[in-house]
């Protein structure tokens, strides 16, 4: 029997979705950072639920949140939010309460989601964990966010992300100002022996790639055009897969040869869709050349992840301007994304995340068992790019 039996039909859809939150774990996160120090009534739990409501219903500002909640005071208690909320109360909480409370709680949800999605298939048949690494930049107004200086007249924050491609679950996220180069993210992640890390040319730093190799992890990336190398030998390949050559090489550059003193795999591939030739580098000699190409193609899923959260969660318009408020909002947005992913798996819903969020957005106040919302799928016409297996290589 599914999770539907646990849901009280007298509860709103919002409340039923929030029942998937392990609130005992949230309490631990709050206590870890003293989240209730000098707090009288607006608890961290109420803050979390209010922000989750704002995410799920696409509230654009603090005033928008306040107006929406004041319009339905009789429902706030049943939502767990309590009484009517002044926008200044939420603003103060976002400014003052340690953003790490919500970062740690998001990690709790991520851990649960990864277990649920461990059996998901990949674009190729592999037993290893495959991670995609990338970042997205969120532009900000420099006069309002001076701590996030990016360029002379521009502010921004970067969302550096490691995505587990089984279920597209973000396993590690770092929020930085817009000036931090992507390659520095390799210094922050915990390397897993046997895992495969897929990344674009922005992460090509051979000292760091050699650290990956030393940790017995695999990587797949694109070669830069000015790379100096020499061929040691060539491997047979299947031209029907689009592979043009498969070679074992050594780096020949003055600095690169010292930074990466061991052999590498160089695979040339013809992308027939975009009519381009791509060159991949990897330290894996156990996977076919066509698998190397498909692994790089799968990196597109992290671009879809960034697109999804920017379209569906409120991280373009921030409810506060301090670094703490921005990080709080981003981490709660990530928590909501993972919560929806958990509900999708727990309820065995055969629907895209995008479609699920649209249905939830329209139904948060309905008193219907949540699993019944997703049974009339033919009536829905939501289009999710993540369901398209024929996406071209992202360059």
Radius of gyration from C-alpha coordinates of the chain? 23
| Confidence label for 186 from pLDDT (cuts 50, 70 and 90) | very high
Taking CA atoms, 57 is separated from 30, 54, 316, in Å, by 25, 5, 14
- How far, in Å, CA of 19 to CA of 37, rounded? 26
| Range of the structural domain that residue 360 is part of | 3-103+320-387
- Least confident residue range of 16-20, 107-111, 223-227, 370-374: 370-374
**Does 324 fall in a domain?**
yes
pLDDT (0 to 100) of residue 9: 54
pLDDT at 382: 37
Out of 149-163, 164-178, 303-317, least confident range? 303-317
Span 81-90, average pLDDT = 84
Same domain, 32 and 93: yes
264, part of any domain: yes
Q: Name the phi and psi angles at 111, rounded to 5.
A: -60, -45
Report if residue 49 sits inside a domain. yes
Q: Are residues 95 and 21 in the same domain?
A: yes
Element (H, E) at 62: helix 62-70
Both 217 and 272 in one domain: the answer is: yes
Q: What is the pLDDT, as a whole number, of residue 380?
A: 42
Cβ distance 208 to 187 under 8 Å?
Answer: yes
- Could you give the 3-state DSSP secondary structure of residue 155? strand
Once rounded to an integer, what is the mean pLDDT over residues 273-279? 91
DSSP state of 86: -
What's the pLDDT score for residue 390?
A: 30
Q: Is residue 289 part of a domain?
A: no
Q: Residue 376: what pLDDT? A: 58
Tell me, yes or no, whether 152 lies in a domain.
no
Judge whether residue 395 has pLDDT over 70.
no
Residue 92 maps to a domain: yes
Q: What mean pLDDT, rounded, does the chain reach?
A: 87
Residue 191 scores a pLDDT above 90: yes
- Which pLDDT does position 70 carry in this prediction? 85
| Last residue in a domain, options 284, 307, 341 | 284
* Contact in structure between 161 and 172 (CB atoms under 8 Å): yes
pLDDT at 5 over 60: no
- 324 and 267 in one domain? no
CB 188 within 8 A of CB 174: yes
Q: How far apart are CA 37 and CA 352, in angstroms?
A: 40
User: Does a structural domain hold residue 35?
Assistant: yes
Among residues 284, 311, 344, the one where a domain terminates is 284
Regarding whether 335 and 274 lie in a shared domain, the answer is: no
| pLDDT of res. 374 | 83
Instruction: Give me the sign of the Cα torsion angle 364, 367, 372, 375.
Output: negative
Give pLDDT tens digits for 204-255: 999 999 999 999 999 999 999 999 999 999 999 999 999 999 999 999 998 9
Pick the closest to residue 236 from 245, 227, 225, 228 (CA basis). 245
CA dist., res. 4 & res. 65, Å (int) = 30
280 in the same domain as 227: yes
Provide the CB-side half-sphere exposure for 212 (13 A, CA).
30
In this structure, is residue 335 part of a structural domain? yes
Mean pLDDT of 111-116: 94
What's the confidence (pLDDT) of residue 393? 46
Distance of alpha carbon 303 from its chain centroid, rounded?
9
Tokens of 309: 């959260």
Is the pLDDT at 329 greater than 60? The verdict is yes
Q: Among 238, 264, 284, where does a domain finish?
A: 284
Pairing outcome for strands 169-177 and 154-164: antiparallel
What is the arithmetic mean of pLDDT over 361-376? 84
Lowest mean pLDDT among 15-24, 68-77, 231-240, 257-266: 68-77
Which has the higher per-residue pLDDT, 36 or 100? 100
- For 37-72, write each residue's pLDDT tens digit: 888 888 999 999 999 999 998 888 889 988 988 888
Please tell me whether residues 13 and 81 are part of one structural domain. Answer: yes
64: tokens are 């928008």
| CATH number reported for the structural domain that contains residue 233 in this entry | 2.20.25
Per-residue model confidence (pLDDT) at position 391: 38
Q: Would you place residue 324 in the very low, low, confident or very high pLDDT band (cuts 50, 70, 90)?
A: very high
Interval 188-200 mean pLDDT: 95
What is the count of structural domains for the chain?
2
């Amino acid at each position: 029997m599914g999770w539907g039996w646990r849901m009280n039909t007298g509860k709103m859809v919002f409340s039923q979705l929030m029942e998937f939150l392990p609130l005992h774990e949230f309490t631990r996160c709050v206590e870890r950072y003293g989240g209730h120090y000098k707090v009288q009534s607006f608890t961290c739990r109420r803050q979390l639920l209010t922000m989750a409501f704002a995410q799920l219903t696409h509230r654009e500002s603090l005033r928008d949140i306040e107006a929406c909640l004041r319009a339905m005071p009789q429902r706030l208690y049943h939502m767990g939010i309590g009484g009517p909320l002044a926008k200044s109360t939420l603003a103060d909480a976002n400014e003052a309460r340690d953003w790490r409370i919500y970062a740690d709680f998001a990690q709790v949800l991520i851990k649960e989601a990864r277990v649920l999605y461990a059996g998901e298939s990949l674009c190729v048949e592999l037993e290893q964990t495959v991670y995609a690494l990338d970042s997205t930049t969120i532009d900000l107004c420099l006069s309002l966010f001076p701590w996030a200086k990016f360029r002379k007249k521009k502010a921004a924050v970067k969302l550096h992300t490691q995505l587990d491609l089984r279920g597209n679950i973000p396993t590690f996220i770092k929020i930085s100002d817009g000036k931090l180069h992507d390659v520095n993210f390799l210094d922050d992640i915990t390397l897993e022996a046997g895992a495969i890390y897929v990344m674009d040319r922005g992460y090509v730093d051979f000292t760091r790639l050699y650290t990956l190799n030393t940790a017995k992890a695999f990587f797949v990336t694109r070669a830069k055009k000015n790379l100096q190398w020499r061929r040691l030998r060539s491997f047979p390949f299947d031209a029907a897969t689009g592979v043009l050559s498969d070679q074992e090489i050594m780096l020949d550059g003055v600095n690169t040869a010292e930074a990466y003193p061991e052999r590498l795999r160089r695979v040339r591939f013809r992308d027939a869709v975009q009519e381009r030739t791509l060159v991949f580098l990897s330290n894996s000699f156990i996977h076919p050349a066509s698998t190397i190409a498909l692994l790089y193609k799968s990196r597109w899923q992290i671009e879809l992840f960034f697109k999804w959260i920017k379209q569906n969660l409120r991280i373009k318009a921030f409810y506060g301007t301090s670094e703490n408020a921005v990080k709080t909002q981003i981490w709660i947005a990530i928590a909501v994304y993972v919560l929806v992913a958990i509900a999708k798996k727990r309820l065995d819903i055969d629907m895209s995340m995008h479609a699920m969020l649209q249905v939830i957005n329209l139904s948060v106040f309905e008193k219907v068992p949540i699993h019944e919302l997703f049974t009339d799928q033919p009536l829905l016409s939501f289009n999710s790019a993540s369901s398209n297996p024929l996406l071209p290589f992202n360059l």
